[in-house]
Amino acid sequence: MTRDRISTKSRRRFIQSVGATGAVSLAGCTGGSSGYTISFWELFSGGEGPVMEDIVQKFNDEQPLDVDEEVKIDRQRTPWDQYYNNLYTTLAGGSGPDLAVMHAAYLRAWDDTIVPMDNYIDTEEIEGDYLDNHWDLVSVEDETRALPMDLHPVGMYYNKGIFEEAGLDPESPPTNWEEFQAAGNAIAEETDKSAFSQTPYNDGFGSWRTWSTLVKQQGGELFDSDWNPTFDGQAGQETSELFWDMTGDMEWSSQTTEADWGANAFENGNLGMTMNGTWYVATLEESDIDWGFFKPTIAPNKTQDQVWADGHTIVLPGNQNRSDEKSEIAAEVAHWLTTENPEWGARAGHLPAAADIRESDVFQNASFYDKTLSKYLEMAEDDMYFYHPKVPNGDPNSESWYQWLLDMWGHNYGSPQEALDDGVSEISNGLEE
């Protein structure tokens, strides 16, 4: 990669700013002849955190950019549950970092807080470096707002030992509702383990990933074109009843809202199946259980194969104090982070956005390539993914938006319909902000 990718538009503005303010602007806040320190905020924990730490270390050691100055990344990690609140507050204070990781779902609602990537890098030229579906993810209203880093859809993880104990073939996991139902019932009846948890974390957002996947597979729609919730249609009602029954009559799981219940149970070998994202592989690789993976296309009365996905992207947060030259360097750093690091797939388990990485040896030789990555790729090729909604307002990852799903799972409502009504009201209010 070279500086040629810096867009002519931004070059012009850069020259203007130098002309207007002289050498002072060149020095920037941390720039100048001594080099640049690019502050980079991220939210990766669990197995992903160390991978990102290594990638940043590699950048700082190798100085891979084709620029004269020394460029250093100063990484700051904030836990995921506080990350966006901190980021938003910092941005509101006008002192945001130079780069930040942002889920694609935020790119529309947060457009006031970020500078579109194509202001500082020639996106037409680098577009070909990324896979088409990832590029679509970062485009909002025909504007490239960020650079795509990965897709992280959900899949179904299962315990092979429990399958065996229940008399099931651990090498032939379910492929449809009939088989999934038979497997769940066998585990519930033949073993003292739980059959299924909607999300290992037992949280609202995790529940939504699974619930919305099942709704879409039954032909349901989540929102209309004006962003009114429509997820309470027939598919939504039936999926809600299924959730209710799984912890009720079917006895597939405890009727609990305890945080991390599924994670503890699955990682201790007490849970047969759970639905979670690509990232779960990093945790499971460190556990002792013999686990497998299958595509989560198992809804009853399925009419289409649809699976929830979102993706990490890298954005340029707005910052009035940052010089244009520094923004251009930051954009180059984002391009390097997203295109040169197959470890992000091979170790952290995600589907990297860069086209070359899919073909790379590092990626294809990942220890879990056959188990998860190859199946996630097949789903991508078959166009199965639907994206977490890029809502115009509010926080699409807010736990309070989806708390009703957890309380539905724990039977804290009188009926699944009551929970669903609460969900429509909560999300409608959140979108009206």
Partner 1 sequence: MFLVWPALKGFYMSLHNWDPFVPSESEFIGLDNYIELFNDPVFWDAMKGTIYFVALSVPLLVIVGLGLALGVNKNVKGKRVLRAIYFSPYILTVAVVTLIWSEVYSESYGLINHYLGYVMSDPPGWLTSTELAMPALAFMTVWWLVGFNFVIFLAARQSVPERLYEAARLDGASTWRAFKDVTLPQMRNSILFVVIIQFILQFQVFAQPFVLTTGGPRGSTDTLVYYLYRSAFSQHQYGYGAAIGYVLVMILVLIAIINFKVIGTND
248 contributes a contact to partner 1 by CB under 8 A? no
Query: In the bound complex, what is the minimum distance in angstroms from residue 257's beta carbon to partner 1?
Result: 5
Binding residues among 298-337 for partner 1 as defined by CB under 8 A: 318
Mark out the alpha helices in 247-390 (DSSP H runs).
261-267, 280-284, 324-339, 343-346, 355-359, 361-364, 374-381
* Binds partner 1 (CB under 8 A): choice among 4, 61, 68, 112: 112
Selected range binding partner 1 among 136-144, 170-178, 282-290, 406-414, rule: CB under 8 A:
406-414
Shorter beta-carbon distance to partner 1: residue 237 or 264: 264
251 contributes a contact to partner 1 by CB under 8 A? no
* Binds partner 1 (CB under 8 A): choice among 407, 420, 423, 427: 407
DSSP assignment of 177-208 = HHHHHHHHHHHHHHSSSEEEES-TT--HHHHH
> CB neighbours (10 Å) of residue 40?
23
399 contributes a contact to partner 1 by CB under 8 A? yes
Tell me the site size for partner 1, rule CB under 8 A. Answer: 31
For residue 238, which amino acid is it?
A: E
415 contributes a contact to partner 1 by CB under 8 A? no
Selected range binding partner 1 among 87-95, 164-172, 173-181, 224-232, rule: CB under 8 A:
87-95
433 contributes a contact to partner 1 by CB under 8 A? yes
Shorter beta-carbon distance to partner 1: residue 79 or 128: 79
56 contributes a contact to partner 1 by CB under 8 A? no
191 contributes a contact to partner 1 by CB under 8 A? no
Question: What are residue 220's phi and psi, to 5 degrees?
Answer: -80, 160
Shorter beta-carbon distance to partner 1: residue 321 or 367: 321
- The helix (H) or strand (E) run that includes residue 157 is strand 154-159
Query: In the bound complex, what is the minimum distance in angstroms from residue 88's beta carbon to partner 1?
Result: 6
284 contacts 348 by C-beta, under 8 angstroms: no
C-alpha span between 284 and 274 (Å, rounded): 12
Shorter beta-carbon distance to partner 1: residue 106 or 385: 106
C-alpha span between 384 and 75 (Å, rounded): 34
395 contributes a contact to partner 1 by CB under 8 A? yes
CA angle 24, 25, 26 (to 5 degrees): 90
17 contributes a contact to partner 1 by CB under 8 A? no
Cα dihedral value 396, 401, 402, 407, nearest 10: 170
C-alpha span between 332 and 67 (Å, rounded): 10
Which residues are near partner 1 by CB under 8 A? 84-85, 88-89, 91-92, 112-113, 203, 254, 256-259, 261, 264-265, 318, 394-395, 398-400, 403, 406-407, 410, 412-413, 430, 433
